[in-house]
């Protein structure tokens, strides 16, 4: 079984400030981990993924995440927030078994203040 917990349903930062969105996972086998972004009335866009290669993963739009096995975490960061980063962010875990089904966290709404 696998699960994901996103700490903080709402995060608010000022433009130019550090963005930190938290994700902890539970999995009985080494997982694949993903961060997706969703804008209103749109589908999920992949930001980045961890699939057992480098533990520090760089994604699109300046985001990156670090896989920490000891902490079972995969937190998403961006050094400097931009107004266009305001959106809903989902962390997800999947395995290479069980038809690759993904389990999503409840999401974090990021607000960026001018």
Partner 1 sequence: DAMVIQNPRYQVTQFGKPVTLSCSQTLNHNVMYWYQQKSSQAPKLLFHYYDKDFNNEADTPDNFQSRRPNTSFCFLDIRSPGLGDAAMYLCATRDLRSTDTQYFGPGTRLTVL
Strands (E), 1-114: 2-5, 10-14, 19-21, 24-27, 32-38, 44-50, 56-58, 64-68, 73-78, 87-94, 102-104, 108-113
Q: Of 38 and 72, which has the nearer Cβ to partner 1? A: 38
Nearest approach, Cβ of residue 69 and partner 1 (Å): 17
Q: How far is the CB of 16 from partner 1 (least distance, A)?
A: 27
Minimum CB distance to partner 1, residue 93 (Å): 12
Name the one residue in this structure whose structure tokens are 């699109």: 60
Enumerate binding residues for partner 1 (CB under 8 A).
32, 34, 36, 41-46, 49, 51, 90, 94, 96, 99-102, 104-107, 109
């Amino acid at each position: 079984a696998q699960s994901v917990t996103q700490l903080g349903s709402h995060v608010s930062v000022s433009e130019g400030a550090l963005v930190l969105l938290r994700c902890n996972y539970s999995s009985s086998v080494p997982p694949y981990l993903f961060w997706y972004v969703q804008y209103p009335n749109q589908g999920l866009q992949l930001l980045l993924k961890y699939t057992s290669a480098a533990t520090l993963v760089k994604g699109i739009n300046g985001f990156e995440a670090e896989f920490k096995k000891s902490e079972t975490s995969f937190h998403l960061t961006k050094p400097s927030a931009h107004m266009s980063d305001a959106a809903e962010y989902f962390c997800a875990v999947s395995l290479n078994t069980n038809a690759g089904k993904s389990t999503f966290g409840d999401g974090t709404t990021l607000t960026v203040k001018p």
